[in-house]
């Protein structure tokens, strides 16, 4: 995480932000490239969640790629495992739901249809940040579909080094300064000197987006 966020700071012109769009894109890459905290997981967009799962699969030995945003037939990621017996083509659907909104049987049924239509996949995996209803679990029983709920996802992220600890004792900006050895100023009165790096955000949306991304890294 240090290298990824450090790269973000290199993009900043001390006299001001010259290209806020490119900065946001680079930091968005850094967020899912290094993982998230469990609270940060719930702030990811659907696309960011798919990116995180793609990286998780790569850590697990798969060759994985996200499908196009539309026309994917309910398939978000296609992954291939080059191993005997358990290898082959896997289709993955990602559902970034609130923890208290379980995935229902209708979603699993639609995913099963996409899996059947593909004809080449050996297995389908439906991954969610919530859980599954009893009906969904019952429908998937006996089918080549694996349901991965929030608790199992948490264990996988931790096992493969993509789960960050929750950090709540410091202001997010102060925590970044502690971790990366410099003070960062957004024109906020709480920042105390010495200020090694000043970032002047000309657009309020940039600050709001940065705060969201910092939250995804586990800083609250």
* Domain range summary for the chain, segments of one domain joined by +: 2-37+171-216, 46-159
The per-residue pLDDT for 43 is 87
Interval 132-191: pLDDT, tens: 999 999 999 999 999 999 999 999 999 999 988 765 544 555 554 444 434 444 444 433
The pLDDT mean for the chain works out to 74
Interval 54-97: pLDDT, tens: 999 999 999 999 997 655 568 999 999 998 878 899 999 999 99
Residue 77, helix vs strand vs coil: strand
Q: Give the right CATH number for 46-159 from 1.20.120.80, 3.40.1350.10, 3.40.50.2300, 3.40.1180.10.
A: 3.40.1350.10
| For residues 30-45, average pLDDT | 77
Q: How far apart are CA 98 and CA 207, in angstroms?
A: 25
Of 152, 153, 81, 93, residue with least CA distance to 122: 81
The per-residue pLDDT for 214 is 60
Task: Give the least confident one: 23-32, 85-94, 111-120, 211-220.
Answer: 23-32
172: left (phi over 0), alpha (psi -120 to 50) or beta: alpha
Q: Looking up tokens 């029983």, which residue turns up?
A: 141
Contacts of 140 (CB under 8 A, 6+ apart): 108, 112, 126, 132, 146, 147
The per-residue pLDDT for 156 is 97
Per-residue pLDDT band for 100 (boundaries 50, 70, 90) equals very high
Q: ω before 205 within 30° of 0 (cis)?
A: no
The per-residue pLDDT for 99 is 94
Give percent of the chain with pLDDT exceeding 90.
45
Helical pair 46-59 and 20-34, crossing angle rounded to 10 deg? 50
Q: Is the pLDDT of residue 29 over 80?
A: no
């Amino acid at each position: 995480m240090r290298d990824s966020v450090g790269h973000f700071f290199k993009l900043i012109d001390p006299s001001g932000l010259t290209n806020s769009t490119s900065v946001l894109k680079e930091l968005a890459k850094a967020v899912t490239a290094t993982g998230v905290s469990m609270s940060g997981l719930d702030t990811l967009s659907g696309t960011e969640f798919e990116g995180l799962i793609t990286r998780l699969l790569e850590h697990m030995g798969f060759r994985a790629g996200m499908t196009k945003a539309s026309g994917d037939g309910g398939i978000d990621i296609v992954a291939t495992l080059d191993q005997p017996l358990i290898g082959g083509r896997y289709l993955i659907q990602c559902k970034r739901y609130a923890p208290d909104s379980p995935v229902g049987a209708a979603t699993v049924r639609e995913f099963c249809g996409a899996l059947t239509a593909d004809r080449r996949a050996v297995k389908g995996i439906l991954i969610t940040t919530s859980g599954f209803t009893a009906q969904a679990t019952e429908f998937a029983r006996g089918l080549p579909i694996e349901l991965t709920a929030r608790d199992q996802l948490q264990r996988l992220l931790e096992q493969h080094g993509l789960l960050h600890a929750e950090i709540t004792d410091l202001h997010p900006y102060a925590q970044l300064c502690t971790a990366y050895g410099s003070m960062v100023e957004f024109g906020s009165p709480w920042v105390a000197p010495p200020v090694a790096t000043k970032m002047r955000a000309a657009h309020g949306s940039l600050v709001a987006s940065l705060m969201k991304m910092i939250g995804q890294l586990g800083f609250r």
